[in-house]
Amino acid sequence: MHLTWQRRSDDHQRRASTFLRGALVFVTALAVETVLLAPLGAETRRTHQSTPTTHFGVGIVRCTFVDRSRSLLDYSTTPFRVLSSSRTLLTEIRYPTQQLAGGPAQATGAPPLQRSGGYPMIVFAHGYDVTPDTYVALLDAWVRAGFVVVAPFFPDENASAVAAQYGADTEDDLANEPGDLAFLTKEILLASVNETTICPIASGLINPSEIALAGHSDGAVAAGMLAYDHGLDPQGINYASLRTGIAYRAIIILSGAEDTAQSYAAEARRPNLLVVQSLTDRCNPFRDGVQLYDGIHQSNKWFLELQSAHHLPPFDDVDVPAFNVVSATTISFLQMSLQDATPTTSLLTLGNQRPEIARMYGGVVGPPLTNAPRVKESCSPN
């Protein structure tokens, strides 16, 4: 079973972040919250309890969910054989806790800070050959702003799974990941309503009407496929059917691309869309993000154009200035979108505060491709 979306080079996605796993710098919430002190405008009247004066701690648990309706392949064999008749999704859940002075930055298994109605949820998809922990700085910044982040370890594309298959190219499993994301979203919502032994921490944790979908690199491709693709997945199920019954209010594409072999279209609900792409990304070129943005014909969409960042550093905090813009902008976008508001001038103002680092576009007209310099495509360290 081979993935049909067109690769931009023979190897540039296969090792998307293999060389980048090592450098993780933890960021505190203070930098993000300082940026958010800028006025956000009238549309933010309905805000979350997460304000610049709120300091949530971060709790972490791992739960395991098993989808017995779909299989897992072993890509180290020729032809590929079925490795398992089910797909096991080890899932990391990060959630707000009470922040104690002098306490740890993260606390495994800490009790959630109770909130009537639950917290808004972000379902996050990691890139190839890495794990959700690669993005700890960004995910924790979201949690400190008052969101629950649910991030699966994809069973064929996370770092340990790739290593277990002796370095085989397992990236074709990307076509199955939209199904993983849809399955996990539904399972977490069920666990929030009904206390289960599988994931008791989720009980009462989620507000089912405030859900976002986000991803980076291959994970962004998977998120885009689940949100907009109208083709068939490897199981013969239309991607539109996978998202039926899930009311995503916001979609975030970080250094992603469109599945060009299948048709994309704006959904009837038209969730707010934010695309973040760098002019100098050598792994997923700038044109890929512009193509996806232009292909979604709706007005409630925004494009954050990073000026000189690369593929992973704006999202793992290695590029601190770009990371600060990305974290502040995504938090503002999520806060407004998940309260069913349409971000307007305030989001554009925030994204344009440091034009030497990033520029923000909104609405039908996105960034021109003439802005992008010619770069050699490669997923080596950048």
Q: Which stretch of DSSP H or E encloses residue 251?
A: strand 248-254
Closest alpha carbon to 26 in 325, 317, 309, 313: 317
What would you report as the CA-atom Rg of the chain, rounded to the nearest whole angstrom?
Answer: 19
What pLDDT sits at residue 47? Answer: 34
pLDDT for 29: 35
Q: Which residues of the chain have pLDDT under 70?
A: 1-54, 101-103, 380-382
Q: Which of 16, 347, 353 is nearest to 154 (CA)?
A: 16
Which pLDDT belongs to residue 54?
56
Which tokens in the block code for residue 222? 């998977």
Amino acid at 161: A
pLDDT number for residue 102: 65
Contact 211, 249 (CB under 8 A): yes
pLDDT on residue 118: 96
Instruction: Write the single-letter amino acid at 332.
Output: S
In this predicted structure, what is the pLDDT of residue 226? Answer: 96
Domains, the chain, with CATH or none: 18-371 (3.40.50.1820)
Please write the tens of the pLDDT for every residue from 59-82. 999 999 999 999 888 888 888 888
Whole-model pTM: value is: 0.84
What's the pLDDT tens digit per position in 118-139?
A: 999 999 999 998 999 999 999 9
